[in-house]
Structure 1
């Protein structure tokens, strides 16, 4: 599931928040990935590259980037979209494994406009990969945003990438596809319709609430107020914990949340199962080519007495770079 919402005019700063909603723990840690790392497409194809930008990412199972931002202020967010159709893997087309899809953009682009142009020029295909532990094959779409306030939503429908590129695309949730979400929003009071602002956890209802409340945030007097304002919106779109329902085995709950300040290059992470909020200042990380990657273990001490809290920019442990899931894995 999940919700992503962008606040492009927070007293001169651009902020974006997201909820990660999932039916089980994703084993998420934070990673610091410097420039100069060599990567490939993960599907045995023709795409390979060397990271031009360093980035901080939230991983899933330490083998897939699902959220993050780079040192240029470009951020990306993977969310669920059941309607996704990537087409049959065509080995004659440039392709990226789903695990490294977001990372490709963080490695190579500083703006949404350049990333959107690349998608159009290359006609890249995304190849879904099954979770090694469960065999579940995710169906996802991608939001990109940058420090200029630009935004794009990328969905694969009927085997091709559809890109909605506009500064007006501030919110993304899940089903239905993005164009239909925009039409549903027009039925809500405040967006041209008469339907009262909805309150359920359905994707279209979360979309409406996020759009409504981000458009009514007061201008912050500080960066702390800006981050707090964004958290107030995404928490309104969060999904509570729930007793497992045998009729809905994949019913989601919000397991963590992030707020990225794309202007001041700060990445804030809040787990809904841990008491402490942590943040990373990207300008305090060593992204230089040849520097080691770093990993911040969020799965360690989760007690009320200990655990990570506050600014954790200096707490990353040197490690080998994240190894992304590949088609052969």
Structure 2
């Protein structure tokens, strides 16, 4: 076999390999999710039966804080978390801070939306908006939906299980004041990294801790190794940051936080990691083995799409009146 034949054969193998990998990437990459008409509305204590249209992240802020709560079959754990949030936000020291809670029922089958509305009716002085997705979109999809329709000058998303201490919002708020005094695009990340050697983490299963350390190693390769805890469900965004990040979020599974932080890094936003209190709450929907494998797959898909330029970051702030759905206006 001469050299030219060997060269052409090698090039052919490389070409076939590239095409195969690219086709696999197209298959594995999540398609943009279009919001249904009913999902662009909410119910509240003021309008429990007649749904009202949601606002847009591209509008000017009309409250100081939006709290987005993604919830999937959370009738057991969510009430305590909501009560803790209301107790804190209703403190006299915070009476000048206007807020809204946007509870996004992610296609639950246990009456989560109805329970959230019942809770709202019991707190008529609080602005609690209940949104229901017709089909499960994943935690990342529910967070993204709530963020795209939040009215806050700052927007927090928090897990419905109440594992994070809600009062620690003030720690994130203080750091946001420091890194973005003029409400520039910035993110304050609640972190459990300081708890690694405490009982809160040590008591978790050996398998879960092994997977945690493995994930951290992969994250360093992906490009967000500067954040020690990417997965804590307690993150605060300035409105400018939310406007430039969430319309370009693609992942809706457990690892969506990594994409948010990678986008923030690519956009050169200020990001600060803030230690918070946290405790494990039973009833997690996470399957340690299968979801860890899915996280690995999604991380590879994320990195490949960014390297190939298929997924792009926002070139500039969005214009008022439009919301882009993974690059497509809706």
TM-score higher than 0.5: no
Task: Give the alignment's TM-score, normalised by structure 2.
Answer: 0.31
Looking at secondary structure, tell me which structure has more helix per residue: 2
Q: Which has the higher contact order (CA 8 A, sep 6+)?
A: 1
Looking at secondary structure, tell me which structure has more strand per residue: 1
